[in-house]
Structure 1
Amino acid sequence: MNFKTITSENLHAEIRMLKCYLANDHRGHFVTTSEAVNMPGQVWSCVSCGCRLIFHTGTHTDSPWFEHDQRTVAASTLIGCAHIDPAVKAEIRSRTLRSLFNSPDSPVMSLAWYCVWCANHYSGEKRCTACGTGIYSIEEACWQNNYT
Structure 2
Amino acid sequence: MHKSTLHNLKLYLALDSDGHYVISKEMKNASDAQWFCPSCSCPVKLRNNIPGEDAWFVHNPDEATKPLLANCGYLNTEIKRRVFILRLRTMIDELETLTATRYWFCVWCKAHYEGEKHCKACNTGIYSISHGDWCWNYNHKENTPEISDHTAININHHHQTACIPS
Structure (1 or 2) with the larger CA radius of gyration: 2
- Report the TM-score, using the length of structure 2 for normalisation: 0.41
Q: Tell which has more relative contact order, 1 or 2 (C-alpha 8 A, sep 6+).
A: 1
Q: Which has the higher helix share?
A: 2
TM-score (norm 1): 0.46
